[in-house]
Amino acid sequence: MGAENQRKMNIVFFGSSAYVLPLIQILNAEYNLELVVTTEQKETDAVPHFCITNKIPYLSVTNVKTDAFLTQIRDLGAPVAVLADFGLLIPQDLIGIFPKGIVNIHPSLLPKFRGPTPGQSAILAGEHETGVSIMLLDQQLDHGPILAQEKASIEQSDTADTLYTRLFTIGSSLLAKSLRSYLDNSLVPTPQDDSKATYTKILTKQDGFFDVDKIVILERQNASIGSHQDLEDSIASLQNDAKIITSEKLHRMVRACHPWPGVWTKMNLYGKEKIVKLLPSSYYHVIPAKAGIQSIPNESKDGSPIRSGMTNQDPVNDILLQVEGKKPMSVKDFINGYPETKTLFQKLGLF
């Protein structure tokens, strides 16, 4: 199929976060993007806002299994669809509408880290490398054959947010190349090796909680952590009684769980129990001021990240603390305000 014919080809896209905007942009530029289907409901949400701004038809949904929806998609006559970070399970009835199937962009090197949290899992496991897979959707979880893959490094300062932003940007370029080849039948899908599959889990707010009174802190900060430790085991070691934690592991958790669900605990501060969040400093500007510390999230009005330019790899300084009702502050300033916490943070390797 020639490039000119592909530009005229109808395509449907399914996706629901700011991470997928580069994919929408490239599909809109190179094909006839007939419809974007998203689970985001507000016009100010990332995908609807982008579609409205760029005059791309979109549809907000909460269910993709109804006869009315399936008929609407079937009537578009698109031979293929593309999906990324959508948020709903796709039934076979929907996949079957498209003669060339649904192409999925998954932010890991499948079959490793199948499931909903591959970026978080890679950071928690201490991986130095991950990647993007372009695959065909089937009825099993991230199981379909692979069209293309590209590796990407995981930086020491990466949070789940920065990693996903980079991976989906890489994925948009990889999709542009691999989709053309797939549609003209010059790219043959390769089955995954199921024997090497690992799986991730959905995160809840409680997954970010750890009890400072029930953690055994391993003094040797650089103690080895298995590189293939999965997300559930990593989180459980922060939650359950008498579990061991290293400073390195805590830092991984803070980066992996940002922005959701966030790492948090409860502390007794001046006789009152307070919720304290642990935040990655690379995501905030922290400015000493006469009235205290100003902290400005590195995010612009449109939701895109604004990097602070911080490249500090010192683990003592790359976590901020935020007491409920207050602004984020450095560990040093936190201890100045709450000196009774000094011993704890020394054991945690944060001071």
Closest CA to 249 of 260, 258, 238, 265: 238
pTM, full prediction: 0.85
**How far is Cα 17 from Cα 160, in angstroms, rounded to an integer?**
14
Pairwise CA distance, residues 226 & 231, whole Å: 12
Per-residue model confidence (pLDDT) at position 56: 98
Task: Look at strands 58-60 and 129-136 and give their pairing.
Answer: unpaired
Residue 315, pLDDT > 50, answer no
Tell me what pLDDT residue 233 has.
58
Convert 314-350 to b/e letters by CB count within 10 Å (16 or more is b): eeebbbbbbbeeeebbbbebbbeebeebeebbebbbb
**Pairing verdict, β 272-280 and 319-323:** antiparallel
What architecture is domain 3-196? 3-Layer(aba) Sandwich (3.40)
Q: What is the mean pLDDT of residues 245-261?
A: 89
Q: Where are the alpha helices (DSSP H) in the chain?
A: 3-8, 21-30, 46-53, 67-74, 92-95, 118-124, 160-183, 231-239, 247-256, 331-337, 342-347
pLDDT in tens, 90-116: 999 999 999 999 999 999 999 999 999
pLDDT tens track for 282-306: 766 544 433 333 333 444 334 333 3
| pLDDT tens by residue, 58-77 | 999 999 999 999 999 999 99
HSE, side-chain direction, 13 A CA sphere, residue 124:
27
Domains of the chain: which residue ranges? 3-196, 205-347
349: left (phi over 0), alpha (psi -120 to 50) or beta: left
Q: What percent of the chain has pLDDT over 90?
A: 72
pLDDT-wise least confident of 204-213, 241-250, 314-323: 241-250
Question: What is the number of other CB atoms lying within 10 angstroms of the CB of residue 176?
Answer: 15
312: confidence class by pLDDT, cuts 50, 70, 90:
very low
Is the pLDDT confidence value at 48 over 70? yes
